[in-house]
Amino acid sequence: MGREHWKKIWVGSAGNMVEWFDWFVYASFATYFAGAFFPEGNDTAKLMNTAGIFAVGFFMRPVGGWLLGRVGDRKGRKAALTLTVTLMSASALLIAVAPTYAVAGYGGAAVLLVARLLQGLSVGGEYAASATYLTEASAPRHRGLASSFQYVSMTAGQILGLGLLIVLQRTMSDEALHDWGWRIPFAIGALGAAVVFYLRRNMLETEVYEESADDTPANRKGTIRALLAHRREAFLVIALTMGGTVAYYTYTTYLTKYLSNSAGLDKQTATLVSFCALIVFACLQPLAGMLSDRVGRRPLLITFAVGSTLLTVPIMAMLKHADSFWPALGLSLLALVVITGYTSINACVKAELFPTGVRALGVALPYAIANALFGGTAEYVALWFKDSGMEAGFSWYVAGCAAVSLIVYLSMRETRDIDLNLVGRSGKPRGPGNPEEPGEREPAGVTSS
């Protein structure tokens, strides 16, 4: 890829990193501020309350997916990306200054809820806008590599959040962290979002969007009506996201809590395990993205689904009995290597299914719905199983979701060679052996029976 392509990828990824830093910091610091917004009681119950508010943010994501997806298709990817980071900055600032239960009763929890709703609105559009931008901004033969930087930046945001947590754990007392130290990352997130706002105001629009030649009428771009013309692909996005998003949130946002609340590791060790595992995970994304550019998207997706279906139950069972850093790290890395088959390429796979005039909305809304139903609820479902005395049931739930996605992966078409400018017109990809000329095929989607 040329220098201009890398510049676009860098700007898009930097903003995505800050967005997801703010999003994941909530989960990373939940064990410290859970007691600040709710009355004294069972620790698991307080975590369930904060996890419930975490899940509520996901249910705002379909609204954000629709609203910001529409902006992305009608006003451009740059406009959508700038708006998402503005909303995220406001939500992070709200959490940083939210009053505690001791000061305002449940008023503080209400502020926390409003902030999470704003974050949900922002992230609902951020994923699709960045997925679309990174896919369109890359060279056709390197879309897998380029789109892999979405999860590199997402993971980098979480690594920064966990890294900050580790620093604060080692420089502040546990009492200070519970009292006021948890506010620090949200203040930093609000400042970082302001910096990214400036960067995104000067970013370049993608050539694919500017030179769009699809058949979507101008007055229907980014509309539900236009998306319904591609409802098959929309349902495909929901189904292929299901297993991946549950597994991802299980081994990222929930992992630290699982290691400390179930395996019995102290908070510092559990945080360090997550931190180290995520660094390796981020490094794996571009390698898997490049591999998909050579062998196709389906082989990686199928590998993920098979591995997640068969290995989730034993990995979670062994993690529960991991009583030190190295066993916990090894098992966490095994799980994240499996998940890489999904995370590294899911952005470009979804973007490759839709024409330019409805691509941002087509990725945003179905993906947000899948995340609201499965990703956002993963942590809450896990804690519900634990509180009910059936903690092992959650592992079977994760494996079952992966099995459903496996069926979809086995039946869907390969999308690697699709020409983004032709999707929705002739529906034809570049021909075999000739990347410049379209070849004959059926529209993207699932295979015929």
- Domain containing 342 — which CATH number? 1.20.1250.20
Confidence of residue 112 (pLDDT cuts 50, 70, 90): confident
**Over residues 72-96, mean pLDDT:** 91
What pLDDT is stored for residue 445 in this prediction?
44
Q: Is residue 441 part of a domain?
A: no
- The answer to whether the CB of 311 falls within 8 A of the CB of 338 is yes
**Over residues 277-294, mean pLDDT:** 96
Closest CA relative to residue 15, chosen from 80, 94, 95, 90? 80
- The answer to whether the CB of 131 falls within 8 A of the CB of 368 is no
Q: Is residue 431 part of a domain?
A: no
pLDDT value at 442 more than 60: no
> How do residues 230-253 score in pLDDT, each as one tens digit?
999 999 999 999 999 999 999 987
pLDDT value at 67 more than 60: yes
Q: Is residue 353 part of a domain?
A: yes
Highest-confidence segment of 41-50, 260-269, 342-351: 342-351
Confidence of residue 40 (pLDDT cuts 50, 70, 90): low
pLDDT value at 43 more than 70: no
For 286, the 3-state DSSP assignment is helix
Please tell me the pTM assigned to this model.
0.83
Percent of the chain topping pLDDT 70: 89
> How do residues 197-222 score in pLDDT, each as one tens digit?
888 888 888 888 887 766 677 778 88
Q: Is residue 435 part of a domain?
A: no
Our count of domains for the chain comes to: 1
What pLDDT is stored for residue 346 in this prediction?
94
**Over residues 131-146, mean pLDDT:** 92
Q: Is residue 214 part of a domain?
A: no
More confident residue, 186 or 58: 186
pLDDT value at 57 more than 70: yes
pLDDT value at 438 more than 60: no
∠ Cα 101 56 404 (to 5°): 145
What pLDDT is stored for residue 219 in this prediction?
74
Q: Is residue 434 part of a domain?
A: no
pLDDT value at 337 more than 60: yes
- The answer to whether the CB of 233 falls within 8 A of the CB of 445 is yes
What pLDDT is stored for residue 5 in this prediction?
75
User: CA 137, CA 366: separation in Å to the nearest integer?
Assistant: 22
| Distance (Å) of CA 125 to CA 73, 87, 175, 437 | 11, 10, 37, 33
Q: Is residue 413 part of a domain?
A: yes
**Over residues 181-210, mean pLDDT:** 88
More confident residue, 298 or 439: 298
Residue numbers of the domain that contains 331:
3-202+223-422
pLDDT value at 435 more than 60: no
Confidence of residue 446 (pLDDT cuts 50, 70, 90): very low
**Over residues 124-131, mean pLDDT:** 87
Q: Is residue 436 part of a domain?
A: no
Confidence of residue 380 (pLDDT cuts 50, 70, 90): confident
Classify residue 44 as exposed, middle or buried by CB count within 10 Å of its CB (0-12, 13-18, 19+). Answer: middle
What pLDDT is stored for residue 424 in this prediction?
60
What pLDDT is stored for residue 436 in this prediction?
39
> How do residues 144-160 score in pLDDT, each as one tens digit?
999 999 999 989 998 99
pLDDT value at 18 more than 50: yes
> How do residues 390-434 score in pLDDT, each as one tens digit?
999 999 999 999 999 999 999 999 999 998 987 765 444 443 333
Percent of the chain topping pLDDT 90: 52
What pLDDT is stored for residue 283 in this prediction?
96
What pLDDT is stored for residue 1 in this prediction?
63
- The answer to whether the CB of 278 falls within 8 A of the CB of 24 is no
Tokens of 143: 């879309």
Q: How far apart are the first and last CA of the chain?
A: 38
